[in-house]
Amino acid sequence: EDQVTQSPEALRLQEGESSSLNCSYTVSGLRGLFWYRQDPGKGPEFLFTLYSAGEEKEKERLKATLTKKESFLHITAPKPEDSATYLCAVMVRSGGSNYKLTFGKGTLLTVNP
């Protein structure tokens, strides 16, 4: 069974205090790993897709990396507006031409001014 585990469950940072979120996964045939940001009461907002070990992607203060067993979302000098729940998901093939996305429970990030 595909499993995605995110840690920590919650993280509180001071503005400017860099840190990393972890996503470890156990899947058969990874087709892609996704990071999403979710604000309260809203749908997840796409951040990154990583496809192979060693791949890295950046967007503003965020940088995502991928190994064969886990992914990290590095947050550099965070600001209060970065506060949100960050979700990790893995995509695997699910019969025919369909793919399935399995999510972790997320990390609730709070950045204090």
Residues at the contact surface with another protein, assessed by CB under 8 A: 4, 32, 34, 36, 41-46, 49, 87, 89, 94-106
In this complex, which beta carbon is closest to another protein, that of residue 78 or of residue 106?
Answer: 106
In this complex, which beta carbon is closest to another protein, that of residue 78 or of residue 90?
Answer: 90
In this complex, which beta carbon is closest to another protein, that of residue 95 or of residue 113?
Answer: 95
Q: Minimal distance in Å, beta carbon 103 to another protein? A: 4
Q: Minimal distance in Å, beta carbon 51 to another protein? A: 10
Listed residue (43, 47, 97) closest to 72, CA to CA: 47
Extract the tokens encoding 74.
């590095």
Give the separation between CA 110 and CA 64, rounded to whole angstroms.
Answer: 19
In this complex, which beta carbon is closest to another protein, that of residue 14 or of residue 98?
Answer: 98
Q: Minimal distance in Å, beta carbon 71 to another protein? A: 14
Q: Minimal distance in Å, beta carbon 69 to another protein? A: 19
Q: What letters, b where the CB count within 10 A reaches 16 and e where it falls short, cover 47-73? A: bbbbeeeeeeeeeeebbbbbeeebbbb
- Alpha helices (H) along 57-98: none
Assign 100 to helix, strand or coil. Answer: strand
